[in-house]
Chains A and B, each alone.
Chain A
């Protein structure tokens, strides 16, 4: 627990010095403007909730992909990975603490998009199912943190992590149904969308904004949490496998 808290504290200090790590937060107001403009121009105020949630989900994913994805690699570039591996403290809780801070900070994107809608478009988003919304948001943050651990490990092995970071944004925004529900996608994509946690998150969050009763909330939340668990397990396994590999190959540092 202490290592986890140290990881949190360290990441807070890093974020204070490098605002570019939360770059997606700078784009959220403009993305909200883009989506709300499309809905207003089409005279579809009923889709305002889609337009406000999407920039938040996109920012959450983008920040996790870029910032969390580079956590281990940045230590490697800085020449500090050797020392981190050599110390008695375990790497996993340290990394988890850092990821938790980044994911929590990126949740601010939802606040941004809410206020952009309110101030610039006079659109007030109400949340008829507040409990569902809060629980779904927490579960989404948890799932994102778990899958960010997978990215952090995988990117260590990639020749150019930046290529994958650029590549993994929009395909997941489509498969995750961040603005257009996955029910609009062809049926043959369903096996893929079912294992993308964002698709469950975005559907649950949108349903929480809809006055109609939320169907199968328990089951859908359970699937989201199971996907989070799968990401966490895979992340922990990959981290130990990657560290074992770079240790045995002598590539803990680039030198």
Chain B
């Protein structure tokens, strides 16, 4: 119960931050426009290849990768909390650090859900990715699970960069690019050596993407994929909690809670 109360307080912080960053107009024209351009950019590579099938494959992959790129902003927004100087108070309080940081960057989940939904449901049909009403409804649910579980993963690099805040954007961008390369967004996972296939199975987004591709191909068998996404996300959440506890313990020991960078 206490965990949930602290988490809710963190979410209030997150949405206040979001409202301070974006207006409806800048989110729609600047951010959503940028994401649509990103998806079109990858989709056009399919056009260059002269393959409508590749075009559809790349569009779906790029739209799901928009979620990854956005929830990885958790790396930056976690450091904003530390930059605000609140970490000593958070460490001194009885509340869980994981609850604080899990709430603190939650704004990226609904935002990425909205951008990826628009890309798949509105831009998709322009390039031959079509949806029936039931599949469109289920798609939104699948995208939500994908965004939420990928967010659990993003909390891990978010916690890790609290010790090296200048690296926050580098870490987020490199991880985002690696996921785009290897988790089946641009080429099937089977294109890569088998050990890469094993490694990316540990990422929730790999399973979320499979679920979206299942829906895009007219199937509805998404539950196993979502199950794996939730399972892997739970593991990443535990890792994030451990990293944050370690940050606090180390900070107490060597006096780096206030100035850890």
Residues of A within 8 A of B (CB): 18-20, 23-24, 26-27, 30-31, 33-35, 37-42, 44, 47, 50, 160, 162-164, 166-171, 173-174, 179-181, 184-185
Contacts and interface: CB of A to CB of B under 8 A. Distances in A.
B178 A30 contact: yes
8 contacts: A20-B166, A20-B167, A26-B170, A27-B177, A30-B181, A163-B21, A163-B22, A166-B31
B187 interface: yes
Contacts of B37: 169-171, 173-174
B51 A42 contact: yes
B44 A30 contact: no
Nearest to B35: A170
B48 A184 contact: yes
B44 A184 contact: yes
A167 B45 contact: no
B34 interface: yes
A165 to B, nearest CB: 10
Nearest to B40: A174
B58 interface: yes
B113 to A, nearest CB: 18
Contacts of B26: 160, 163
A39 B41 CA distance: 15
Contact of A171 (B22, B34, B174, B181): B34
Q: Which 5 pairs across A and B sit closest by C-beta, in order of nearness? A: A30-B177, A167-B30, A170-B37, A170-B38, A171-B37
Given A26-B170, A168-B34, A180-B45, 9 more contacts: A34-B186, A37-B187, A38-B45, A38-B186, A163-B26, A167-B29, A170-B37, A174-B37, A179-B48
B173 interface: yes
A164 B30 contact: yes
A166 B34 contact: yes
Contacts of A47: 48-49
Interface residues of B, number: 36
B188 to A, nearest CB: 8
Contacts of A179: 41, 44-45, 48
B200 to A, nearest CB: 13
B173 A26 contact: yes
B195 interface: no
Which residue among B22, B26, B29, B31 has the maximum number of chain A CB atoms within 10 Å of its CB?
A: B26
A92 B40 CA distance: 37
Nearest to B188: A41
A249 B169 CA distance: 34
Contacts of A19: 170
Interface in B28-86: 29-31, 33-35, 37-38, 40-41, 44-45, 47-49, 51, 54, 58
A72 B238 CA distance: 42
Interface in B167-212: 167, 169-170, 173-174, 177-178, 180-181, 186-188, 191-192
A42 B180 CA distance: 17
Contacts of B22: 163
Given A163-B22, A170-B38, A171-B33, A33 B181 contact: yes
Given A20-B169, A34-B186, A160 B181 contact: no
A181 B177 CA distance: 23
B22 to A, nearest CB: 7
A163 B177 contact: no
B47 A180 contact: yes
Contacts of A41: 187-188, 191
A174 B44 contact: yes
Given A18-B166, A171-B33, A44 B173 contact: no
B67 to A, nearest CB: 16
Contacts of B48: 47, 50, 179-181, 184
A170 to B, nearest CB: 4
